[in-house]
Structures are given as C-alpha cells and as structure tokens.
Amino acid sequence: MLLTTFLAESIKSGKITVSQNNTEALEITAQDKKIDVNAKDKTFIKEIISSTHKNDKPVSVIGTIERGVTGLRTVRSVQPMVKEIAEDLNREGMTVTLSFKGDTVITIGSEANPKFTRILLGTKNVQINSVRKLVEMGL
C-alpha cells in the first residue's frame, strides 16, 4: 500500500476547507472510500502550477510549441507515478476526484472509466472527465 492510499484510507469521512487571503481555495471532502478535492479558486491553482515554472515570460508561438513539448515530456516523466497511485487506489477500492467549482475534472482509482487517457497514461484507472475544465484550471 502506497502512502497515498494509506492516507486516503485513514480519512474515513470529513470535510476540510483551505483558504488563501480569506478566499476559499480548496474544499476536500471524504466519505466511503471517496475523496473529492474541489478547487474553488483558479488563481490558487495557477499559483501552485506557476511556482513549479522558473521563468514565466511572455510566450511567442515558438514558446507555446516548446511548452507543449515540455508538457508532453512532463506527462511521460510523471506517468509511472500516476499509474502506480491510480492502480493502488483501484486495488483498495478507493476513488479520488479533482473538481473545479463542483464539476468533476479528473477521476482516479476504482470509479475511473477512461477513454483516451488509457492510451496516454497506460492505465484504466485515470479518467479525464472534462478537458475544457482541465484547460480552464490551467493544468
């Protein structure tokens, strides 16, 4: 059992709200082997993502293409970890969802029903529910 599923299994039920500057940013709800992380503030998510980028300069067409290629490389580099977490959650009968303003964006674990994500990540335990919301969140 991975640390991820150990933590998820340790949380039986409850709700946590994470705020930044008096604004609700995340709402985490756990119940019956399901955990939903609902992002309420897009700015908070973008700040987390941008903190992983070193140079956020204005982007040209070439820069956009370079970011796309870098994004694909990032997916390939984290793919084994995501696959392992997703399969471990599935074995434990657990599901984690990431939502944005109440709309499910990604489902990981036993309730995932992927279409094209299976090819991209090599696992049937990760589902992208809304590409539009995923892009809107900046992921």
Which pLDDT does position 138 carry in this prediction? Answer: 65
- Average pLDDT for 116-130: 83
Segments of the chain assigned E as strands: 13-20, 23-31, 34-39, 95-100, 103-109, 126-128
List the structure tokens of 58: 């204005």
Report residue 124 as tokens.
Answer: 């049937």
Q: Which residues pair with 26 in a beta bridge?
A: 18, 39
Q: Is pTM beyond 0.75 here?
A: no
- Provide the percentage of residues in the chain whose pLDDT is more than 90: 16
Sheet holding 23-31, edge to edge: 13-20, 23-31, 34-39, 95-100, 103-109, 126-128
Total structural domains within the chain: 1
Mean pLDDT of 10-29: 85
Range of the domain at 15: 3-137
Q: What is the pLDDT of residue 20?
A: 83
Judge whether residue 121 has pLDDT over 80: no
CA 124 → CA 30, 72, 108, distances in Å? 23, 19, 9
What does the alpha-carbon distance between residue 57 and residue 110 come to, in Å, rounded to a whole number? 40
